[in-house]
């Protein structure tokens, strides 16, 4: 089964908790705090695997969680770092954050992508020792790892995409010009999954061609197979539009050409402007009048018409030569840029809770929504810091601190962020 879209939940590992401990050693009085820090949680990492061609593995497993960091121990021993969880995906996979729909990454090369960062380990009690608080009996908990619901969308990476109604000869063409072996038969929708083939033009010169399953009228609205596979055309640097010159299916090749280009424009307007080479197939069945009419129409619309009969390899080399020449003038395969997920996208929903607890005049504030915002806030940037302060005000956190009796100069700890309270 070909699966080219999936939705999963990923959660990085929680950071280990800091340790509360005091040095105990014979003949050493008041050894002081010596609790170790917690270890960092494991990351969720996506890595391309060229042996994969579908997202079928995600059909049955939907939740992925990385290992948590180890807790700190006495003797200032830090906890062990949690192992990263590496998720293998096919080349060309787009990762989107579900709630915003924004692109997190386009995995078009072998560079790994950290989609969710593991939580930081909590501090042990030595970090909280001061001149007036020499024996702190508390430590910091590790922060939760980032958690996302993401959609995975596979957009095949190919230089050339083959377009055409069912049974116009796309499978026959790709089978004779490349090493691909698609099903070839005289009935509709013999190709129900995209087929990739490598066309070799000589040493060090080759390109990838994709046989996109047959498009029909209404494909952009979900009719037939087209809606499911139109996304794969988006990456192609150029298109080869194959027509049944003889109209052997009872259709007019000119109408076919116009209908498919209309479907491309409806799906993505930019696709309608993509470079196209138009090929008249089944010329052995077409009359001279049919070919002349088709050639005249294409010339009027700025296209040169190439003629071929794919099964007997007539004219196929001329088509391939024209494609190679055109590719040499075109930019590389389309790559989708990642989009920033702003802190404003992660504002708390009405009714979301937070907790505040006080230990030795240190106030600890926690809340999952608050952590998500903090993880996306640049605390070294003045405007970001101002925004985070407004979040504390509008969410009622500062009012809660006042209710609990916080005084000027008391410490406030929000996960990894610590500051002195100033009213």
Which ranges of 233-367 does DSSP label H, i.e. alpha helix? 253-267, 288-300, 316-327
Q: Of 149, 340, 158, 165, whose CA–CA distance to 231 is shortest?
A: 158
Note whether 374 and 397 are within 8 A (CB). no
Q: Kindly report the CATH number assigned to the domain that includes residue 257.
A: 3.40.50.300
Of 327, 352, 369, the residue that ends a domain is: 327
Residue 135 CB contacts under 8 Å (≥ 6 apart), including other chains: 22, 32, 33, 129
170 vs 241: CA distance, rounded Å: 9
Element (H, E) at 208: strand 205-211
| Structure tokens given for 191 | 């190709």
Residue 338 lies in a domain: no
- Boundary (domain end) residue, out of 303, 327, 351: 327
Q: Identify whether residues 102 and 25 lie together within a single domain.
A: yes
Q: For residue 104, tell me if it sits in a domain.
A: yes
DSSP label of 28: B
Evaluate whether residue 332 is within a structural domain.
no
Domain containing 385: what range? Answer: 343-423
- Whether residue 247 sits in one domain with residue 209: yes
343 three-state secondary structure: helix
- Tell whether 334 is covered by a domain: no
Q: Which string of b and e fits 345-366 if b means at least 16 CB within 10 Å? A: ebebeeeeebebeeeeebbbbb
Residue 390, domain member (yes or no): yes
Same domain, yes or no: 300 and 357: no
Q: What is the pLDDT of residue 40?
A: 94
Which pLDDT does position 114 carry in this prediction?
95
CA–CA distance, 259 with 310 (Å, rounded to integer): 23
Claim to verify: residue 133 and residue 202 sit in the same structural domain: no
Check residue 143 and give its pLDDT.
84
Q: How many domains does the chain have?
A: 3
> Are residues 243 and 386 both part of a single domain?
no
422 and 388 fall within a common domain: yes
Q: Which residue positions in the chain have pLDDT lower than 50? A: 1-2, 182-192, 218-227, 350-351
> What is residue 1's predicted lDDT score, i.e. its pLDDT?
38
Both 97 and 209 in one domain: the answer is no
Looking at the structure, tell me whether residues 314 and 382 fall in a common domain.
no
Do residues 340 and 389 lie in contact, with contact meaning Cβ atoms separated by under 8 Å? no
CATH of the domain at 397: 3.30.300.350
The answer on 164 and 147 residing in a single domain is no
Give the residue from 421, 418, 419, 420 showing the smallest Cα distance to 122. Answer: 418
268 and 314 in a single domain? The answer is: yes
Residue 103 lies in a domain: yes
Boundary of a domain, candidates 327, 353, 376: 327
Q: Report how far residue 59's alpha carbon sits from residue 363's, in angstroms, rounded to the nearest whole number.
A: 44
Q: Which residue(s) pair with 307 in the sheet?
A: 280
State how far the alpha carbon of 158 is from the alpha carbons of 20, 179, 187, 209, 326, in Å: 57, 15, 26, 6, 15
Residues 132 and 167 in one domain: no
Domain-located, residue 191: yes
Of 149, 146, 143, 147, give the one whose Cα is nearest residue 69.
143
Residue 284 covered by a domain: yes
Is the same domain home to 313 and 365?
Answer: no
């Amino acid at each position: 089964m070909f699966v080219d879209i999936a939705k999963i939940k990923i959660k990085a590992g929680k950071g280990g908790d800091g340790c509360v401990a005091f040095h105990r050693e014979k003949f050493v009085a008041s050894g002081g705090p010596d609790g170790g820090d917690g270890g960092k949680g494991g990351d969720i990492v996506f890595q391309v695997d060229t042996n994969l061609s579908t997202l079928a593995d995600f059909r049955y497993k939907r939740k992925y969680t990385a290992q948590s960091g180890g807790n700190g121990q006495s003797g200032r021993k830090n906890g062990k770092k949690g192992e990263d969880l590496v998720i293998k995906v096919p080349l060309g996979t787009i990762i989107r954050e579900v709630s915003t729909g924004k692109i997190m990454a386009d995995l078009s090369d072998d560079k790994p992508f950290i989609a969710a960062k593991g939580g930081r380990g909590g501090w042990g009690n030595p970090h909280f020792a001061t001149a007036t608080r020499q024996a702190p009996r508390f430590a910091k908990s590790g922060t939760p790892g980032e958690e996302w619901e993401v959609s995975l969308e596979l957009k095949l990476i190919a230089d050339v995409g083959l377009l055409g109604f069912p049974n116009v000869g796309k499978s026959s063409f790709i089978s004779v010009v490349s090493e691909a072996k698609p099903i070839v038969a005289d009935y509709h929708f013999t190709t129900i999954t995209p087929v990739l083939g490598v066309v070799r033009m000589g040493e060090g010169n080759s390109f990838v061609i994709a046989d996109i399953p047959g498009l029909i009228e209404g494909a952009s609205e979900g009719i037939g197979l087209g809606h499911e596979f139109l996304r794969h055309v988006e990456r192609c640097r150029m298109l080869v539009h194959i027509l049944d010159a003889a109209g052997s299916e009872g259709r007019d090749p000119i109408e076919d050409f116009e209908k498919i280009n209309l479907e491309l424009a409806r799906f993505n307007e930019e696709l309608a402007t993509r470079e196209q080479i138009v090929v008249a197939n089944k010329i052995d069945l077409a009359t001279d009048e049919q070919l002349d009419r088709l050639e005249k129409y294409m010339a009027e619309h700025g296209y040169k018409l190439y003629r071929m009969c794919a099964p007997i390899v007539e004219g196929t080399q001329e088509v391939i030569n024209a494609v190679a020449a055109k590719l040499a003038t075109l930019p590389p395969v389309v790559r989708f840029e990642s989009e920033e997920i702003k802190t404003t996208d992660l504002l708390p929903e009405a009714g979301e809770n937070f907790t505040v607890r006080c230990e030795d005049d240190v106030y600890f504030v926690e809340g999952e929504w608050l952590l998500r915002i903090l993880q996306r806030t640049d605390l070294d940037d003045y405007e970001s810091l101002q925004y985070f302060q407004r979040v504390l005000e509008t969410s009622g956190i500062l009012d809660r601190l006042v209710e609990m009796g916080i005084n000027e100069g008391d410490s406030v700890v929000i996960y990894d962020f610590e500051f002195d309270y100033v009213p």
